[in-house]
Structure 1
Amino acid sequence: MRVAATILLGLMAMNQASAQTADETILYLLSGLRSEPALVEMGLPGERFRMEPLTDGRVGYTRTYHTDKVDVPSATYQFIKTDDCHYDAKITSYEGKAAPYTPVEKAVVELDFSKVHGISERPRTQQYDPHIVSFDGLAVSCKPLAEKGCEGVLLYSGNEIGWLHAGDKPSIEKALGYFQSTYCKGSAF
């Protein structure tokens, strides 16, 4: 009996250890990244973004413009949890014509996942289109931190937002279902 209880407790601990945290899940939802960097094709030969999870204790990723000849920092996206369904995305871009590039805090985008009911992918209609994912029902509010801070930082139109994404639709849908059943119960309407 004691052995069975010990085995059961061990299995429960292993199951909990393998479950994703809210931070890991939100990182995947908003980037497609797990713990490893990814290259996202931009469509033109040799042009892509390198997306890499932050390693300094913050939740988010850096995006670097990458070719065979150069890596140029583009932006950092940091996701700050305000409650189970709300995150702030703090966006910093890197400006300048050569290293060292100057970081400029551009915007904080408030994301409310409480009424998300699905995802959409923007089809690659042109050769150079990246893989873009948006969340149906996501409430968005952008607060600029610099002049034109909300322009060009994200694909932002009205109350819609799109994310350059390294994941695939079935995995994103699975992660969204997990996020909603485990962390953000949301509302029915």
Structure 2
Amino acid sequence: MRIMGVDPGMTRCGIGIVESNGGRRISMVAVDVARTKPEMAPHHRLLMIWNAIEHAIKFYKPDVLAVERVFAQENVRSVTGTAQVAGIVMLAAAQSGLPLGMHTPSEVKAAVTGNGRAEKAQVQLMVQRILTLDEPPRPRDAADALAIAICHAWRGGALHMEDTDRSQHGGAGMLPRAEGEDLTPAQRMWANAERLSRRHGAVEPKKP
């Protein structure tokens, strides 16, 4: 399975593509960061990001898109831009006929590091180890995009592909299962992190 992970952001939007054999082995295909300048008009910035996402889909031909789920935050201006970019990813998935996965920040961190509150540097280091890279992906947006893709790849053991879209918006009955002999320790960790975030409403600072 080829997975395209997107870390949404108006100034820097991370795009990472990985391949998974359905198990723990994951390899990096490509990673990039779409950049826009803050002084540009918002609609022009969104167009540039849309073009980058559309190009990546056509060039790398992923089987599924995964994007970080956006939460309400104190910085309204920041979260608005991030949500707009996330909406572009959702639209791109629909237009391309691709399944869409949405993952919380704590879920991604738990999947990659085993700790739902891991620091950015720890996520970068673990992404490097998981993908056997010579150095941590930089900038952090690139590492985050790859982490989102890795999270979605490992989530496959706990959720059937046809349920991916439905599970993102359902109630408690649609939460990913946290028990089962086929689940890895990391998969159990992120499933529990997802339950906690749904229960308490995770809030995390986001770049502009």
Q: Which has the larger radius of gyration?
A: 1
**TM-score, structure 2 length as denominator?**
0.28
More helix as a share of residues: 2
By relative contact order (CA 8 Å, sep 6+), the higher-ranking structure is 2
